[in-house]
Amino acid sequence: MSLTVLTSAYRLRSVCRLQRIQGHMMSSQVEPGVLLEKVGSAGVITINRPKVLNALNLPMIRQIYPQLKKWENDNETDIVIVRGAGGKAFCAGGDIRAVTEAGKVGDPLAEDFFREEYILNNAIGTCRKPYIALIEGITMGGGVGLSVHGRFRVATEKTLFAMPETAIGLFPDVGGGHFLPRLRGKLGLFLALTGFRLKGRDVQRAGVATHFVESKKIPELEKELVEMKSPSAADVSRVLDSYQSQSSLDSEKPFVLDKHMSDIDRLFSSSSVEGIVQNLKADGSEFANKQAETLSRMSPTSLKITYKQLKAGATMSLQDVLVMEYRLSQACMRGCDFYEGVRAVLVDKDQNPKWKPSTLEEVSEQAVEQCFSSLGDKDLTF
């Protein structure tokens, strides 16, 4: 091939690349990642990145937080509603790839993202106005942080909930250490360690959502909420209760984990992750074997951090849990499993992470303890 042809081919590729970048920049100007609107007496937050399942990034956090605080202190705003655009996801999680790229080169995003995300999670948990999250579609990780600490969480038959962080060398953060151990029995620990997915009405039955409303009724529900005059939390609760009572879809089906709850409580009651794995293997039932197999694929370090996180978080305030989780997030940024997990699951997608250490036995108590130690003046403050 002649040099002229090569040069023009290269030039064409560069032009195409430039057009792609410009197109991306233009589309991000036309379609902001989050829409913040006042509708009636409601402040409405719409997570607006449907092409990436409404993944949460730092610019979005920096828009939502000040607006939430403003609405909280505004006499003209009675309630706050948060929803996802596009129908597929409420919010599938944080923009984890960007965070790992930053962590590799020591970019401050690796600190700022977690710090500001957790400050937002706390603001949602302490919001004085009724906060209503319409968690339709995929709701995982960062999306759980945008919803679960609010007063009301409405699931539909399209809701898919999970905290799958142990599979990527992280831990169920965004206040997972607060809400998970407060679910019944050992359900929270089970969901945290295994990343088990809950769907539809089961999200409400587990206690993650406060209400279940059929998807087709959501537009009508939104309309009624924004048109309410000076509603109290009790007024909002009554409206949600009435929509739930009109939603009979799947009501005859039992909770997916009903027949396993006594097993979960028994098998996940142990003073260590190794003890849980031993319980599962010794039990030998199909359910126990499946959970043992799932745990064998997770980061051993993540499993041990998560176990300790939930045990400690059971008696802590949300704020204190988030301080603890910020320390853990920075420990994960210093380690190697988070980068390897993201590579295996999200980047190369070979689903074959090489964890270091590779077994639970090799993860020392001292190594786990270190992850929880204070960062001094870099600790999270509110």
Which residues form the catalytic set? 94, 142, 165, 173
The token duo for 234 is: 């009790």
Q: Return d(Cα 329, Cα 338) in angstroms, integer.
A: 10
Chain centroid to Cα 280, Å, comes to 27
131 in Cβ contact with 171 (< 8 Å): no
Helix (H, G, I), strand (E, B), or coil: what is residue 115? helix
Instruction: Phi first, then psi: give them for residue 253, nearest 5 degrees.
Output: -80, 140
- Listed in sequence order, the residues at least 6 apart from 5 whose beta carbon sits closer than 8 Å to its beta carbon are none
User: Which residue pairs, CB below 8 angstroms and at least 24 apart, start in 317-323?
Assistant: 317/178, 318/121, 318/122, 318/125, 318/126, 318/149, 318/175, 318/178, 319/122, 319/382, 321/175, 321/177, 321/178, 322/118, 322/119, 322/121, 322/122, 322/175, 322/178, 322/380, 323/379, 323/380, 323/381
196 in Cβ contact with 246 (< 8 Å): no
